[in-house]
Homo-oligomer: A and B are copies of this chain.
């Protein structure tokens, strides 16, 4: 292969109660990475679109190429030369798993270019290195679902233990991105290092309820379990109109609503596309009433994860 074009979807991490352990992929948007072999050894970034010039252009500083460099080092490959183009199709610092989508598309593209020496599961830890660059910690709740698709649970980080659970067919995601920005590092920094035992128990109950609700296709249980007593009360302070937007989603048919990743995007899950749309329009209108522009995405759950779009 001389040329690969790969797509990796946006993702919703945390999913209300599952801080750092839950994430799911949506169908769109997603980032696209192109890699093309060149004669001169080394990885260079040829072009980045859609980032308004904000991402680093040096290969050793950009998540998309850092993951490639890690993978090449792991495989002992020193003579490969390639040019990388990254098409950012979602905003930076949006809570939609932007850096994860770039890193995953990058690692899938280079692996395909090399004839797939590694499996999807094996690619995970390389993609996580991209997250370390972006947020300071190598979490997997965005890269996991972006790479593998579906609803993903990270049972453990050391050792890494990740698995997928089935979701009901009729589950749809609404994702509303207000035109403000939160730095992921800041969003982590404001969290307390200690949690009350009482809140830990409440959160565990909701984690158990959400897993069982998804696996049983019990929409009421999913709805009752989409409660976050630990992270949302702290992080939501950073998102103007959060409580009103959440109320609008719930009052307009959503099963539940919370912060997507570290925000500022807000997601809702609904039964059926029509409810997802109704909730989304109400959420967008609530932001608009407060003078905040926002972008609305409606999508089913992406079951396949990252894909290769073109090969040459």
A interface, CB within 8 angstroms of B: 17-22, 153-157, 161, 163, 165, 191-198, 200-209, 211-212, 215-216, 221, 224-225, 230
Q: Are B204 and A18 closer than 8 Å at their CB atoms?
A: yes
Listed A/B pairs (27) with beta-carbon separation below 8 Å: A18-B204, A21-B204, A22-B208, A153-B209, A153-B212, A155-B205, A155-B206, A155-B209, A155-B221, A155-B224, A155-B225, A156-B224, A163-B212, A191-B197, A193-B198, A195-B195, A195-B196, A195-B200, A197-B230, A200-B200, A207-B208, A208-B208, A208-B211, A211-B211, A211-B215, A212-B215, A215-B215
Q: How close is A153's CB to chain B, nearest CB, in angstroms?
A: 5
A20 to chain B: which residues have CB within 8 Å?
201
Taking A20-B201, A155-B224 as known contacts, 11 extra A-B pairs with beta carbons closer than 8 A to each other, sorted by chain A number, are A153-B208, A155-B205, A155-B206, A156-B206, A157-B205, A161-B205, A161-B224, A194-B194, A194-B197, A197-B230, A203-B204
Please judge, given known A-B contacts A155-B208, A208-B18, A209-B153, whether A163 and B197 are in contact too, CB under 8 Å. no
- Taking CB as reference atom, which chain B residue is nearest A154? B205
A197 near B195 with CB under 8 A, answer yes
Evaluate whether A208 and B21 lie within 8 angstroms (CB atoms) in the complex, with A197-B195, A225-B155 already known. yes
Alpha-carbon distance between A156 and B191 when the two chains are bound, in angstroms: 24
